[in-house]
Amino acid sequence: MALDQRAKWDQRFARAKAINPPAQVLQRNSHLLSSKGRALEIACGLGGNSLFLAGQGYQVDALDISGVALQKLSAEAERRGLFVNTVRTDVEKQFSNTASYDLIVVSHFLYRPLCPALAKALKPGGLLFYQTFTRDARPDNGPSNPAWCLRRNELLELFAGLELVYYREEAELGQCDTKVGGLACYVGRKSQPTSVATSGRDFHT
């Protein structure tokens, strides 16, 4: 009998020895971060992004299907003197977009039907940081199933309703930077509502 998804990821994270550093899209665009606000990480795993954001002063909600990963994340946060609110959930089946976040980060996870809800969960002016594999990734450096990899420029389509702040995508070719080769890195911003001021005077043309 095949292991369910929770058991699969629990086993994988039980073997993990080290927490990954923050995603390249966060590191390269750290100047866009504020010193406060609410942040959400989707499919956080061991929470390298969540720990980084908590260290920057954000109140962080970290969601993952693996209880083992979340336990390790909580322990590491405590060791660093930080707090990360961990929530065990399968976002492919249940995700509430009623909460409003100043920042959302997704790294190495792709579930296309979730994308509209992520955009909706941003506050006006909020930022989405997204990084995951493209179909140009080497077979040993990404998902084996091409359905879990992005087409070229696909993030621009999935989040067309957001304002583009940053985008980088490279194939595994030539002398490209191997840290981002086969990855798409995206930052989008939810637009602020615009208000039209009136003077109370009628204008005629």
- Domains located in the chain, CATH noted: 5-27+34-189 (3.40.50.150)
> Dihedral through CA 85, CA 86, CA 89, CA 90, nearest 10?
110
Band (pLDDT 50/70/90 cuts) for residue 140 is low
Mean pLDDT to the nearest integer, 140-152:
69
- Residue 204 has a pLDDT of 41
In degrees, to the nearest 5, what angle opens at C-alpha 21 toward C-alphas 15 and 26?
Answer: 140
Band (pLDDT 50/70/90 cuts) for residue 170 is confident
Band (pLDDT 50/70/90 cuts) for residue 12 is confident
Band (pLDDT 50/70/90 cuts) for residue 144 is low
What is residue 170's DSSP assignment? Answer: B
Token digits for 184? 């798409």
The answer to whether residues 145 and 170 touch, using CB atoms and an 8 Å cutoff, is no
Q: Is the pLDDT of residue 86 over 90?
A: yes
Q: Is the pLDDT of residue 130 over 60?
A: yes
The answer to whether residues 118 and 104 touch, using CB atoms and an 8 Å cutoff, is yes
Q: Which residue has the higher pLDDT, 203 or 47?
A: 47
> Dihedral through CA 41, CA 47, CA 50, CA 52, nearest 10?
-140
The answer to whether residues 106 and 97 touch, using CB atoms and an 8 Å cutoff, is no
Band (pLDDT 50/70/90 cuts) for residue 44 is very high
Percentage of residues of the chain with pLDDT beyond 90: 60
Gyration radius from the chain CA atoms:
19
Q: Is the pLDDT of residue 180 over 60?
A: no
Band (pLDDT 50/70/90 cuts) for residue 182 is confident
- Residue 152 has a pLDDT of 85
What does pTM read for this prediction?
0.85
- Residue 205 has a pLDDT of 35
